[in-house]
Amino acid sequence: MSLDRQRSTMLSTRLLNKTTGLDPSARAMAEENEMSDLYKQQAAERAAEDITSGMRLGIGTGSTAEFFVHALSKRVNAGLDVVGVPTSERTRKLASELGIPLTTLEETPHLDLTVDGADELDGRLSLIKGGGGALLREKIVAAASDQMVVVADGSKQVQTLGQFPLPIEVVPFGLGATENAIATVFADLDLPKSLELRGGTAQPFLTDGGHYILDARLESIGNVHSLADRLDAIPGVVEHGLFLDLATKAYVAGADGVKTILPN
């Protein structure tokens, strides 16, 4: 039996145990959420198998990346010699608790590999990231790495980016002017003018860097590079969630096991 098939059998058994006794609607929802988590875990564990001693790693943020942190910690506790740069305070805390040696980009400015999740990925391995609010640090770490491996479940694969709201990290000062500048870009590119301040005006979400996030519901982004370039030119925009030409490989897990995807 293949390793992927063994994993699928064990995970399916765990799913059955967790959902037994629930009413039909609750069970269906629980099964969907649980299967998504199981696939994320499979993809993350596959990526952890690629890590070799001596590597300098970027360690991503989010639910799938956390599965990778747990898988990596098991290998570290078994003797794997690596050092990692976390992409958020949340990841730093978890990795530290699990015994993974950590460093910074000041101490280790060049990394071999970053492993991170994605909110969406297309066939070119262009990504939307930032659902967890760590897009700035995630992009800095990915850009400092020779390779970036994405781990995801199959629901994150899309033909065209845009169904997942695009996070845009912005400076709080001059927020209104920045929103107007972003809206102008959207109009020029025939994109919906739909911007929401994450967390709302009463209590906006703050990133680790002290910035706000505007979530843009764009539905379908025809030219991701044009949009990225235009957003980069707005002074109040710190960073955006379009990760282009950064990912070199993806492990995407689903009912058929873990698939390796290379940019086409």
Same domain, 143 and 196: no
- What is residue 34's predicted lDDT score, i.e. its pLDDT? 79
Q: What is the 3-state secondary structure (H, E, C) of the chain?
A: CCHHHHHHHHHHHHHHHHHCCCCHHHHHHHHHHHHHHHHHHHHHHHHHHCCCCCCEEEECCCHHHHHHHHHHHHHHHCCCCCEEEECCHHHHHHHHHCCCCECCCCCCCCEEEEEECCCEECCCCCEECCCCCCHHHHHHHHHCEEEEEEEEEHHHECCCCCCCCEEEEECCCCHHHHHHHHHHHHHHCCCCCCEEECCCCCCCCCCCCCCEEEEECCCCCCCHHHHHHHHHCCCCEEEECEECCCCCEEEEEECCEEEEECCC
Same domain, 131 and 208: no
- What is residue 20's predicted lDDT score, i.e. its pLDDT? 64
- What is residue 83's predicted lDDT score, i.e. its pLDDT? 98
Residues with active-site annotation? 138
Please report which confidence band the pLDDT of residue 28 belongs to, taking 50, 70 and 90 as the band edges: low
Same domain, 173 and 228: yes
Instruction: Let me know if residue 147 belongs to a domain.
Output: yes
Instruction: Let me know if residue 264 belongs to a domain.
Output: no
25-39, 42-56, 133-147, 161-175, range with the lowest pLDDT: 25-39
Q: What is the mean pLDDT of residues 78-107?
A: 98
Instruction: Let me know if residue 54 belongs to a domain.
Output: yes
Instruction: Let me know if residue 261 belongs to a domain.
Output: no
Instruction: Let me know if residue 148 belongs to a domain.
Output: yes
- What is residue 32's predicted lDDT score, i.e. its pLDDT? 67
d(CA 44, CA 51): 11
- What is residue 50's predicted lDDT score, i.e. its pLDDT? 97
17 vs 198, which has greater pLDDT?
198
Same domain, 99 and 170: no
Residue 176 belongs to what domain range?
166-236
- What is residue 219's predicted lDDT score, i.e. its pLDDT? 96
Residue 198, pLDDT above cutoff 80 = yes
Percent over 90 (pLDDT), the chain: 86
Same domain, 110 and 145: yes
Same domain, 141 and 116: yes
112-138: pLDDT as tens digits = 999 999 999 999 999 999 999 999 999
30 vs 55, which has greater pLDDT?
55
221-236: pLDDT as tens digits = 999 999 999 999 999 9
Mean pLDDT of the chain: 92
Same domain, 135 and 209: no
d(CA 175, CA 242): 20
